Structure 1
Amino acid sequence: MDVSPHIAIVDDDDAIRYALSSLLRSEDFSVSLFDSAEAFLQSLANQLPQCLLTDIQLPGLSGLDLQFRMRAEQPLLPVLVMTAFPEDKLRDQALAAGAVCFLRKPFDNCALLGCLRRAIAGTN
């Protein structure tokens, strides 16, 4: 039996989290939702996702800080970064730190799904 790829979504905006969750579940992904980087980090004792999708602007630890930490602690975990405030400097930092994709909100669902599929295929 095939297991659905598990995606962790970290975004402090409830509407974004739930919209992304609905989209990904409709595409047969398993999803966990977190409103902060700290909540996501606490969950790692229970389950490591196959991919992390994080917003940059978060309360507390930023999405970029989360990405840097995950790269140090779980270097094989693919990370996708999204933001409503795209700046070249942030994009460059995220991509230099190994982000699979840098998505500008609002983004096209097909672009997101393509990034996720590439990210997961790269971990197999």
Structure 2
Amino acid sequence: MGEIVAIVDDDEPVRRALRRLLLSLSYQPIIYASGEEFLAGLRHASPSCAVVDLHMPGLKGLDVLLRIRSEGLRIPVIIVTGFDQSGMRVKCMAAGASGYLVKPIERTEMASAIEAAIGV
């Protein structure tokens, strides 16, 4: 198995689809249903990259990104969203996101974003 990639999404079918996609790209996915669960899980796992949904109950994707950066963690974060709001890509990238993808995400698009994020 390859690099560990965290998937953070509140939607179960999306988590399953992203898991299958990452496995097909030879990454080792670890799954989290919320931003809070992911941040707590960082005590036990060190993913090479995180794919984080922008719109979740509780901590939103941008909140997760800002928390990671404020704690000095060097985990690349790719923000994903099914609802692309005007200016949100710029806002996320300015906050330190490694990528910003709009669902549905193509296999090659995800592969390129992860490779760019982890410096493969």
* TM-score exceeds 0.5: yes
Match of 2:40 among 35, 39, 42: 42
Percent identity of the aligned residues? 36
- Which contiguous aligned blocks of 4+ residues in structure 1 show a shift greater than 6 angstroms? none
Match of 1:70 among 68, 73, 76: 68
Equivalent AA in structure 2 for residue 6 of structure 1: I
Structure 2: gaps (5+ residues): none
Equivalent AA in structure 2 for residue 28 of structure 1: S
Match of 2:95 among 94, 97, 103: 97
Q: Report the equivalent of 2:118.
A: 120
Match status 1:51 vs 2:46: no
| Superposed CA RMSD | 1.3
Match of 1:17 among 15, 18, 35: 15
After TM superposition, give the deviation of residue 75 of structure 1 in Å.
4.0
Q: TM-score, normalised by structure 1?
A: 0.90
Equivalent AA in structure 2 for residue 82 of structure 1: V
Deviations 1:4-58 (A, max 9, x none): 2000000011111111111111221111111100111111111121101100111
Q: TM-score, normalised by structure 2?
A: 0.93
